[in-house]
Amino acid sequence: MDYLDLDSDPPRLLAWTCRACGARFFDRRNACSSCGRNEFERAPVARAGTIRSYSTVYRTTPGVEVPFASVLVELDDGKMVRANLVGVDPKDLVVEPETRVEMGVWVIGQDPAGTQAVAFGFRLIDDGKDGA
């Protein structure tokens, strides 16, 4: 994943940004699908945002634990990102309008040589509205 920058603190996502029109893409492009130009630069995207849609996934490939929550997040800078929502029980998940989340990274595995596999996802932001 060349869009996940683990060297920054905290880790962040990077997008290819079209120098002509400002469109942003996570995957490398030969040309901008918005304006057709071909000059891009790397730029970080916001780490926090608002859940715009979600789904609880119950079917997947062998070895992937279900259920899990898949979310579409509109980041604070307007970029849309799909990822998993972690730290919640997806069976009981109810997302209220304007539910805020923040990106994080987690080790999801390790090979025999000790190289770690890292994934990104989102966690709910504690807004302090717990009824107190």
- At 100, list the tokens: 């805020």
DSSP designation for 92: G
Q: 129 pLDDT exceeds 70?
A: no
DSSP 8-43: SSS-EEEEEEETTT--EESS--SS-TTT----EEEE
* pTM (two decimals): 0.86
Q: Do residues 90 and 102 lie in contact, with contact meaning Cβ atoms separated by under 8 Å?
A: no
- pLDDT-derived band of residue 9, with 50, 70 and 90 as boundaries? very high
Q: Give φ, ψ of 44 to 5 degrees.
A: -70, 150
Structure confidence by residue, pLDDT tens digits, 70-90: 999 999 999 999 999 999 999
Better pLDDT: 25 or 91: 25
- At 17, list the tokens: 């940004």
